[in-house]
Structure 1
């Protein structure tokens, strides 16, 4: 399928590995000029080496000023921004019941403010190109699955941000959607670690809780992201798409 993405400029935050890198690779394969982002210079250089022609911008998107500088650099190099994929996030936190204010702030910064900061900084550029935003969320923001409470709350807030922001962005010609992955396996992921620790427990969970009985791949998320970023999805905004192999029950 031709997604009509040739020549579009796409910035993917948190794209030095895992889902973010897979999305960047997919967009590059569809003809986009891709800009990678991360906080670790070595990992970012390694990711860029995998995508010939890609640009990379070192920036901590938890910081508003860093987001402004990142967008300015993209515009300076490419002259425009068509697609913003907000992928920064982490489910690591304290066990339920042990939350404290500093942990709430840390998790919200990673899983919510990293997106709102980047979108805020990019809004004018996206309005100029009639572009779109894709936020990578989690099924933990949709249903109570026993994950850390601050993470679940942050992702639920992200889903609300997408739904409620769609009208305001739409008036500027900008679309915004989210993807809520379930259990995605890649090197260094939590599921990579769990498989190495106790494969039997993971396989039991999959058989019990996931309709398709398997873990997903970054490519499963990346292919959907490319479609949502494309003109073929021109009438889709304010929506969440679940990629979880049938784990959610509601």
Structure 2
């Protein structure tokens, strides 16, 4: 059985690139993302991977994601590459957008690492 690696933000960008490398190195990439369509597109590029739907910005998501991941055996690692970006000056960010940024980029990472 391949060792599984959970990759948040695994359906695009750095997360997807990491999944390709891990797959080629003999690991089972578990791609975490919010959008099933993007998940399907990512699986077309890394067919051996598995898609786990979840939004790390949600407080209960990490528990659900890791429960799903455990179905594939022991988890050997975690890559936290989920992140969002708003193209605006910090002085132009609203409290709502700052909260959204922190929920994904900071709290989502912390919750997954716990």
TM-score (norm 2): 0.90
User: 1:62, 1:117 within 8 Å by CA — same for their partners in 2?
Assistant: no
| Structure 1 residue runs without a partner (length 5+) | 1-5, 121-250
More strand by share: 2
- Given candidates 95, 98, 101, the residue that maps to 2:92 is 98
- Given candidates 106, 110, 113, the residue that maps to 2:104 is 110
| Structure 2 residue runs without a partner (length 5+) | none
CA deviation after TM superposition for structure 1 residue 18, in Å:
1.2
User: 2 CA distance for matches of 1:17 and 1:70?
Assistant: 18
Which gives a bigger RCO, structure 1 or 2 (Cα 8 Å, sep 6+)?
Answer: 2
State the match for 2:51 in structure 1. 56
- Give the ranges of 4+ consecutive aligned residues of structure 1 lying more than 4 Å apart after TM superposition: none
Instruction: Tell me if 1:80 matches 2:74.
Output: yes
Deviations 1:118-177 (A, max 9, x none): 112xxxxxxxxxxxxxxxxxxxxxxxxxxxxxxxxxxxxxxxxxxxxxxxxxxxxxxxxx
Secondary structure at 1:64 match in 2 = coil
Greater radius of gyration (CA) = 1
CA deviation after TM superposition for structure 1 residue 90, in Å:
2.2
TM-score (norm 1): 0.43
CA deviation after TM superposition for structure 1 residue 93, in Å:
4.3
- Aligned residue-pair number: 114
